[in-house]
Amino acid sequence: MRKRIGVFSLAVVVLLSLGIALIGATKTQVTLTFFHMNTIPEAQKAITEAIKAFEAKNPGVKIKETLVDWGNAHAQFLNSLVAGQAPDLAMLGGTWAVDFRRMGAFAPIDQLASKGFLDIFLPVAFAAVKADGQIYGVPWEGATWAFFYRKDLFEKAGLDPNRPPANWDELLAYAQKLTKGDQYGLVMPAAGWEPADYFLPFMWQAGCPVERFENGKWYGAMNTETGRKATQFYVDLVRKYKVVPETITGMDWEGAKNAFVAGKAAMMYNGMWVVNVIRNSNKELEGKWATAINPAGPTGIKAALGYPNTLHITAQSKNKKLAMKFIELFYTNYNNAPSYADKYAQIVGSLNWTKKFVSTAYPNDPLFKPFIDSMEFAHYPPFAPKWEDFRSRTFNPGIQALILGRATVEEMLKKFDEEFNELHGSK
């Protein structure tokens, strides 16, 4: 009898141990998946610190990152949605949120967020994520795009190094003086998926809205007098005046930066993050370059590309409340110290679109001031639902064809509007 009782007792102990182990295992199996496109190793430290802090505050919860490159991120996120394997948290680029929100990809966060949390952000930062009275995400870091110029090359050309071009006429005149030998006056990225980002501001500066929404439909608005004026000026910089090289079709933002740093280009358009890239890696250029607001269009219109990227909790997430807790930890300033989002933006050299960050982060930095000032007249890319399809299929290749002289301005603008309308069913 004792032997049987001993065996029974042992079995009970084993089962209890297994039960405890299973309970323990259950507690450690909550995984939040985080899809993002950070490609700067130094900035990854801020994300890693935030993840460690969150996991320490929430025992049994792990965050698994999926890092993708910018060029493939849109397609990869779309594929994850279609496959029913969307991440819990997704950082997306610019206006992608508009299209994905229409697909029902995101959970509204109004009821998930703590009271007052959403008030820390600049209201303009919600433009791409707000609809039907609800908010479907928060702004991630973002940027404005502006103008860079080499003060040392200005001086050599007899130009005032403290007076960058204020308008298109001056931009052309300066570029002509600065173009000689293998040095060009101006470059802007026009490779891969980037041409649109640097072409659109010319359209806006000319007063061309690019698109319009009428009677429930989206229409292209590029084949207009203002659109033709902007496009012709852009093309003439390359083909007529030859102050911009055709090789910009092979330059992404980094390629343009490299030409600028090497003295092969005296001026360039580029993004805010490039300030820190140049400053941290090219000490020999200290004091030899500066930044400025984009030159205004022919009637004085100022315009720049600018927007935050966005961070979302997906509708497919089974851990929405936990995902919201991570977002709040990432953006909250503890004991008046910079938040993890602040640290990330400052390392990248971009903007955290919170009221506190914009008023305190870069107030005395002359290289960043033009980018902060540009927020006043910054434009989002178009919000049309098929914009990303149009951008990759027609707009970017069309801009490159114009640069290379493979199409006329009239032909290409007609094609832009026709194909935009066809994609949106607005013939």
CB 194 within 8 A of CB 256: no
**Average pLDDT over every residue of 78-93:** 96
CB 349 within 8 A of CB 276: yes
**Average pLDDT over every residue of 281-286:** 94
Beta bridge partners of 66: 35
Q: Which of 33-42, 68-77, 222-231 has the highest mean pLDDT?
A: 222-231
Backbone angles phi, psi at 166, to 5 degrees: -100, -15
**Average pLDDT over every residue of 56-81:** 93
Q: What is the pLDDT of residues 196-213, one digit of tens each?
A: 999 999 999 999 999 999
Which domains does the chain show, CATH number per domain? 31-142+307-360 (3.40.190.10), 143-306+381-423 (3.40.190.10)
Q: What angle do CA 259, 261, 265 make, to 5 degrees?
A: 45
pTM of the model: 0.82
Q: How confident is the model at residue 27 (pLDDT cuts 50, 70, 90)?
A: low
In this predicted structure, the answer to whether residue 349 has a pLDDT above a threshold of 90 is: no
Nearest Cα to Cα of residue 277 among 265, 260, 294: 260
C-alpha dist (Å) from residue 279 to 232, 284, 288: 34, 9, 11
Q: What angle do CA 249, 251, 257 make, to 5 degrees?
A: 145
Strands (E) in 259-417, as ranges, are 265-271, 289-292, 304-313, 378-379
Phi-psi map region of 26: left, alpha, beta (phi>0 left; psi -120 to 50 alpha): alpha
**Average pLDDT over every residue of 295-307:** 97
**Average pLDDT over every residue of 24-43:** 79
CB 340 within 8 A of CB 49: yes
Q: pLDDT exceeding 90 applies to what percent of the chain?
A: 78
CB 356 within 8 A of CB 119: no
In this predicted structure, the answer to whether residue 215 has a pLDDT above a threshold of 70 is: yes
Helix (H, G, I), strand (E, B) or coil at 35: strand
CB 144 within 8 A of CB 378: yes
C-alpha dist (Å) from residue 192 to 2, 210, 250, 392, 397: 79, 21, 8, 9, 9
Cβ count near 99 (within 10 Å): 20
In this predicted structure, the answer to whether residue 78 has a pLDDT above a threshold of 50 is: yes
Nearest Cα to Cα of residue 209 among 392, 401, 417: 417
Backbone angles phi, psi at 170, to 5 degrees: -70, -35
Residue 37, CB-side half-sphere exposure with 13 Å CA sphere: 19
Least confident of 212-216, 317-321, 400-404: 212-216
In this predicted structure, the answer to whether residue 97 has a pLDDT above a threshold of 50 is: yes
> What pLDDT shows up at residue 305?
96
Angle between helices 409-423 and 396-403 (to 10 degrees): 170
Backbone angles phi, psi at 130, to 5 degrees: -110, 130
Nearest Cα to Cα of residue 141 among 302, 336, 371, 369: 371
| Burial group, residue 315, by CB count within 10 angstroms (0-12, 13-18, 19+) | middle
In this predicted structure, the answer to whether residue 4 has a pLDDT above a threshold of 80 is: no
Question: In this predicted model, which residue has the larger pLDDT, 24 or 303?
Answer: 303
> What pLDDT shows up at residue 179?
98
Give the C-alpha separation, 216 to 237, whole Å. Answer: 37
Q: What is the pLDDT of residues 5-19, one digit of tens each?
A: 444 444 444 444 444
**Average pLDDT over every residue of 293-312:** 96
Least confident of 67-71, 149-153, 342-346, 419-423: 67-71
C-alpha dist (Å) from residue 272 to 61, 106, 145, 262: 35, 28, 6, 19
Question: In this predicted model, which residue has the larger pLDDT, 284 or 94?
Answer: 284
Give the C-alpha separation, 142 to 309, whole Å. Answer: 5
> What pLDDT shows up at residue 347?
87
Q: How confident is the model at residue 28 (pLDDT cuts 50, 70, 90)?
A: low
> What pLDDT shows up at residue 334?
84
Q: How confident is the model at residue 21 (pLDDT cuts 50, 70, 90)?
A: very low
Arithmetic mean of pLDDT over the chain: 91
- End-to-end Cα, the chain, rounded Å: 90
In this predicted structure, the answer to whether residue 230 has a pLDDT above a threshold of 50 is: yes
In this predicted structure, the answer to whether residue 373 has a pLDDT above a threshold of 50 is: yes
Nearest Cα to Cα of residue 306 among 270, 264, 356: 270
> What pLDDT shows up at residue 336?
80
> What pLDDT shows up at residue 26?
43
Least confident of 147-156, 180-189, 351-360: 351-360
Q: Which residue has the tokens 């909790």?
A: 313
Q: Which residue has the tokens 């005296």?
A: 266
C-alpha dist (Å) from residue 286 to 1, 152, 265, 275, 348: 89, 11, 17, 11, 19
